[in-house]
């Protein structure tokens, strides 16, 4: 047991940090796991008098804003005319909500603003409430809608769903015929449980992709899958596969549907077909691992997972899937070991926190289970299974009022799931 406690300590400390100082600060601190190499190299670049702009941009791309701002500020002290460093710092100010700092940085720009910096300058003005000025700044740039869509994906990846919503809406307002913006916004609101809104944008995107049989049928398939109209979705994905045989994604999605209904043999066949199209497709490898495990072939499952780890060593998902597989086999210590690697890859992944909570519940370590599950509830959009687990864990701890609070959330959001919860005596329902 002492090995388990030592191994999981870093996760517990980081979770305490997230709870104590909030998710935004935790995003900065958690990124250190991924960016130590970038930080060290950037520091060397500054100390040797180099611009280090490329390294700063790498630091920025990993959301390690705290260290990036420090390094950029140090660099500007030695060269006030370094436009690339100024632009990077201005963008970080926008991402951090330091809008006046960003505006001042771009307004004092010693060079002609390049299109990317102009887009960020406009975004700072927009968020600061100066929409008219923002539109003037954007008017000289052609790819405004693309920029908003790209930034929205970044925000969604960091769990900033409402900021992502605003950016997608800006993209669609500026370019209402941008099919990709409609499609990606559809995925966002699907995650948030707004299915009718998602369907509307999927349908709009499919219409705009009328001439592209692959994209059109993939989107129609997603819309059908969202409503669990699986037979219809399977047909759309089959048409998409014929339209673009070089894409593994239709087969991955068909595998996902067969997985959802528990037809693991067909699921595995689809994932293997996808891997025949693209051998190193991570989602196909992960899906194949899951299906093989459900069929009792754990050796094959481990083989698929090992390939996924080699293909995507910086992703948390191969280790998350490995932890889940080990947990289902009752090998909790090894499962926690895999989850710690997943956690270090991305400390803010909702599924990682949830899986750790389930493992602790199975180990009857209910206090730790509750801590991890409450974190999972905070990290992403509301998920029924997270709140179901919270009810069961609070009940196991004898915390009736807490259990009732979570059960009330289930009753309000997913009333058809209430019958699956433990019997509780709660006021008001």
CA dihedral 143→155→158→130, nearest 10 degrees, is 130
pTM: 0.72
**Domain-located, residue 96:** yes
**Domain-located, residue 57:** yes
For 370, the token pair is 């509750």
Q: What count of other Cβ atoms lies within 10 Å of the Cβ of residue 210?
A: 10
The packing angle between helices 249-260 and 282-294, to 10°, is 30
238 vs 345: CA distance, rounded Å: 35
How far does the chain reach from its first CA to its final CA, in angstroms? 41
DSSP 428: T
Position of tokens 């799931």? 417
The packing angle between helices 230-243 and 249-260, to 10°, is 160
Q: What count of other Cβ atoms lies within 10 Å of the Cβ of residue 36?
A: 12
Long-range contacts of 237-244 (CB under 8 A, 24+ apart): 239/213, 240/213, 240/214, 243/213, 243/214, 243/217, 244/213, 244/214
Left (φ > 0), alpha (ψ -120 to 50) or beta: where does 263 sit? Answer: beta
pLDDT value at residue 140: 64
pLDDT value at residue 78: 63
**Domain-located, residue 421:** no
Q: What count of other Cβ atoms lies within 10 Å of the Cβ of residue 283?
A: 18
148 vs 172: CA distance, rounded Å: 9
DSSP 416: G
CA dihedral 66→154→344→28, nearest 10 degrees, is 20
Over residues 344-382, the pLDDT tens digits come to 888 888 999 999 999 999 999 999 999 999 999 988 788
Task: Identify the CA nearest to 244 among candidates 271, 208, 206, 278.
Answer: 278
CA within 13 Å, CB half, 117? 22
For 300, the token pair is 């094959």
What domain range includes position 73? Answer: 34-141
Cα–Cα distance list, 339 to 259, 346, 356 (Å): 23, 10, 7
DSSP 415: G
Task: Identify the CA nearest to 31 among candidates 60, 72, 3.
Answer: 60
pLDDT value at residue 303: 96
32 vs 102: CA distance, rounded Å: 24
pLDDT value at residue 157: 75
**Domain-located, residue 277:** no
Regions of the chain with pLDDT less than 50? 1-10, 13-63
**Domain-located, residue 114:** yes
The packing angle between helices 2-21 and 366-379, to 10°, is 40
Cα–Cα distance list, 251 to 70, 164, 232 (Å): 46, 29, 15
Over residues 181-210, the pLDDT tens digits come to 899 999 999 998 899 999 999 999 999 999
pLDDT value at residue 72: 65
pLDDT value at residue 84: 72
How far is C-alpha 152 from the geometric centre of its chain's CA atoms? Answer: 11
66 vs 171: CA distance, rounded Å: 28
Say how many domains are in the chain.
1
Q: What is the CATH number of the domain that holds 86?
A: 1.25.40.10
**Domain-located, residue 93:** yes
**Domain-located, residue 394:** no
**Domain-located, residue 113:** yes
């Amino acid at each position: 047991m002492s090995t388990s406690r030592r191994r999981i300590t870093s996760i517990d400390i980081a979770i305490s940090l997230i709870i104590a100082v909030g998710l935004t600060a935790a995003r900065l601190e958690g990124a250190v796991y991924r960016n130590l190499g970038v930080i060290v190299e950037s520091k060397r670049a500054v100390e040797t008098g180099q611009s280090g702009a490329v390294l700063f941009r790498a630091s920025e791309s990993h959301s390690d804003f705290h260290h990036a701002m420090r390094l950029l500020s140090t660099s500007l002290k030695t060269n006030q005319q370094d436009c690339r460093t100024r632009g990077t710092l201005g963008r970080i100010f926008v991402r951090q909500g330091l809008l006046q700092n960003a505006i001042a940085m771009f307004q004092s720009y010693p060079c002609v603003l390049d299109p990317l910096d102009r887009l960020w300058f406009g975004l700072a003005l927009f968020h600061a409430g100066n929409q008219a000025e923002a539109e003037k700044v954007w008017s000289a740039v052609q790819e405004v809608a693309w920029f908003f869509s790209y930034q929205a994906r970044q925000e969604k990846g960091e769990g900033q769903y409402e900021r992502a919503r605003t950016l997608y809406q800006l993209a669609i307002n500026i370019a209402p015929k941008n099919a990709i913006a409609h499609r990606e916004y559809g995925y966002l609101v699907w995650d948030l449980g707004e299915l009718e809104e998602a369907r509307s944008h999927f349908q709009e995107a499919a219409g705009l992709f009328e001439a592209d049989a692959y994209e059109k049928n993939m989107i129609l398939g997603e819309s059908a899958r969202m409503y669990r109209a699986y037979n219809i979705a399977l047909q759309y994905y089959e048409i998409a596969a014929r339209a673009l045989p070089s894409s593994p994604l239709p087969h991955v999605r068909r595998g996902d549907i067969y997985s959802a209904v528990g037809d693991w043999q067909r699921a595995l066949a689809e994932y293997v077909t996808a891997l025949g199209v693209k051998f190193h497709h991570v989602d196909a490898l992960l899906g194949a691992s899951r299906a093989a495990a459900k069929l009792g072939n754990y050796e094959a499952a481990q083989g698929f997972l090992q390939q996924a780890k080699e293909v995507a060593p910086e992703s948390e998902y191969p280790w998350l899937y490995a932890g889940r597989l080990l947990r289902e086999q009752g090998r909790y210590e090894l499962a926690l070991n895999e989850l710690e690697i997943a956690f270090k890859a991305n400390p803010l992944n909702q599924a990682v926190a949830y899986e750790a909570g389930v493992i602790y519940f199975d180990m009857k370590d209910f206090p730790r289970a509750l801590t991890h599950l409450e974190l999972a509830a905070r990290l992403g959009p509301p998920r029924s299974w997270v709140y179901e687990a919270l009810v069961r864990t609070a009940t196991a701890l004898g915390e009736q009022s807490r259990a009732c609070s979570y059960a009330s959330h289930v009753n309000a959001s997913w009333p058809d799931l209430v019958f699956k919860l433990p019997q509780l005596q709660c006021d008001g329902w």
